[in-house]
Chains A and B, each alone.
Chain A
Amino acid sequence: MKTGSLIDMLARGAGPAPRAVAARRLWPAAALGLLASAAMALSLFGSIPASMHASTAPWLKLSYAVALALAAGWLTAGLARPVACLNLPRRAVLAVLVVMVLVGTWSVVAASSADRLAMVFGQTWRSCPWNILALSVPALAGALWAVRGLAPTRLRPAGFAAGLLAGAVGAGGYAVACPEASMTFVAVWYTLGIGLTGCLGALLGPRVLAW
């Protein structure tokens, strides 16, 4: 086929370009990922103790997860395009992380020295990052599928951003089952779990995002 005929074929009846292509793929992926991770958390680990229902801890965890997911989703949408301005979304991701680190530091500094170790490690530090990584798998699959259907040209960073998004979604799902109440714990171990998911995404990116 001559290139001119190909151009004729592509242009004929092409209609307007589709809009909001990144959002239309990333939102459903993140929403389904959140449902899947919350369902997995409830069936694998059970709900949080009833005494926590009235506390702010689950809501603070969820707020952290949602804020980071929004920022990472914005970054992912940028990296799913061949060219995009990435400064603002990068700063948004950093800002969420910095706020969480400040909150975590502030709570541990404000606590009495006898409680500090317990605030950092809680009861579940050994399993928390791995649980978040495991609960993020459905969201990671969804986010990578979403990015793969777009036009990423920096595959490793795009995979990393999709992994951060998935990790934040998985952390949000884990909040329904996590018995820890300390924000210092969240700042350290949740962030580590989300970072692990980001690294998994970066590892998979070049392989699964090629197009």
Chain B
Amino acid sequence: MPGDADLNDFESGLKPLWLRAQSGDEAAYRAALERIGTRLRGYLRRRLQSIPDEVEDLVQETLLALHLQRGTYDPSLPVSAWALAIARHKLVDLWRRRGRRDNLHDALQDVDESALAVSSEEGQARRDLDRLLSELPAAQRQAILLTKIEGLSVAEAARRTGSSESAIKVQVHRGLKRLALQVRASRP
């Protein structure tokens, strides 16, 4: 099946990047997330043909979930299977919340595998993550802004705010977790 070969190529390109990312290589992590994002866009676009507006929102929601749960990846298994399992979970959650379980089955069966062409063109999500970020509690928002947007190191951010390094890390993680919850709750 061409789809399988395609997935194998995807996996063999992704896995070395991902393993480096897991051990702390930031550039490899960015590159791996970009590859996964592109793949997710194609995957979700095929399955959300009736509501294309949702695609980019769900790509972002899945990327956020992948990041928060990167510790649950088992290196003996394919990265693509892990990432797609999370995407599928988010997709099912979306359909369930929209109360259209039946449509999911239709959408999954009617997948036209020739439309498997992966699109790298990047959409703008309708949901405004910047606004959701601004709604986080102050300490979490500040920790994320300093380390994740301004690009300060954890040590610098700790000095700037007068808190400890571990406190900064905790605030960043809690903030992203809370962001993921808000993203899920803000689904139209």
* Contact flag A10-B64 (CB < 8 Å), given A16-B23, A82-B89: yes
- Check A85 against B76 for contact (C-beta < 8 Å): yes
Residue B149 interfacial (CB < 8 Å): yes
* Contact flag A151-B33 (CB < 8 Å), given A3-B56, A13-B148, A83-B77: no
- Of B2-10, B78-86, B98-106, B110-118, which binds chain A? B78-86
- For A4, give the chain B residue with the smallest CB separation: B122
Residue B124 interfacial (CB < 8 Å): yes
- Check A17 against B22 for contact (C-beta < 8 Å): yes
- Check A13 against B77 for contact (C-beta < 8 Å): no
Cβ of A152 to closest chain B Cβ, rounded Å: 9
- Of A18-26, A137-145, A180-188, which binds chain B? A18-26
Residue B15 interfacial (CB < 8 Å): no
Report the separation of the CA atoms of residues A124 and B101 in the bound assembly, to the nearest whole angstrom: 46
- Check B34 against A83 for contact (C-beta < 8 Å): no
Which residues of chain B are near A16, meaning CB under 8 Å? Answer: 22-24
Residue B164 interfacial (CB < 8 Å): no
- Check B82 against A10 for contact (C-beta < 8 Å): no
Residue A117 interfacial (CB < 8 Å): no
- Check B149 against A151 for contact (C-beta < 8 Å): no
- For A9, give the chain B residue with the smallest CB separation: B148
- Check B151 against A150 for contact (C-beta < 8 Å): no
- Check A3 against B81 for contact (C-beta < 8 Å): no
- Check A11 against B29 for contact (C-beta < 8 Å): yes
Report the separation of the CA atoms of residues A10 and B24 in the bound assembly, to the nearest whole angstrom: 13
- Check A150 against B63 for contact (C-beta < 8 Å): no
Kindly name the residue among B29, B34, B147, B149 whose own CB sees the greatest number of chain A CB atoms within 10 A. Answer: B29
- Check A151 against B69 for contact (C-beta < 8 Å): yes
Residue A6 interfacial (CB < 8 Å): yes
- Check A9 against B149 for contact (C-beta < 8 Å): yes
Which residues of chain A are near B60, meaning CB under 8 Å? Answer: 1, 3, 6
Residue B135 interfacial (CB < 8 Å): no
Residue B136 interfacial (CB < 8 Å): no
Which residues of chain A are near B70, meaning CB under 8 Å? Answer: 17-18
Interface 1/0 per residue, B116-133 and A, CB below 8 Å:
000000111100111000
* Contact flag A14-B29 (CB < 8 Å), given A81-B74, A85-B77: yes
- For A18, give the chain B residue with the smallest CB separation: B71
Contact pick for B71, options A17, A153, A210, CB 8 Å? A17
Report the separation of the CA atoms of residues A59 and B100 in the bound assembly, to the nearest whole angstrom: 52
Cβ of B176 to closest chain A Cβ, rounded Å: 8
Cβ of A16 to closest chain B Cβ, rounded Å: 4
List which B5-48 residues lie within 8 A (CB) of chain A.
21-24, 26-27, 29-30, 33-34, 37
- Check B128 against A1 for contact (C-beta < 8 Å): yes
Cβ of B140 to closest chain A Cβ, rounded Å: 14
- Check A151 against B72 for contact (C-beta < 8 Å): yes
Chain B residues proximal to chain A, CB less than 8 Å: 21-24, 26-27, 29-30, 33-34, 37, 56, 59-60, 63-65, 67, 69-74, 76-78, 81-82, 85-86, 88-89, 93, 122-125, 128-130, 144, 147-149, 151-154, 176, 184
Chain A residues proximal to chain B, CB less than 8 Å: 1-4, 6-22, 80-85, 150-151, 153, 210-211
20 contacts between A and B (CB under 8 A): A1-B125, A1-B129, A1-B130, A2-B122, A9-B149, A11-B30, A12-B26, A13-B153, A13-B154, A14-B24, A16-B23, A17-B23, A17-B73, A19-B71, A20-B71, A82-B72, A82-B86, A83-B77, A83-B82, A85-B74
Shortest 10 CB-CB contacts between residues of A and residues of B: A82-B85, A21-B71, A16-B24, A1-B129, A11-B30, A18-B71, A151-B69, A153-B89, A17-B70, A17-B22
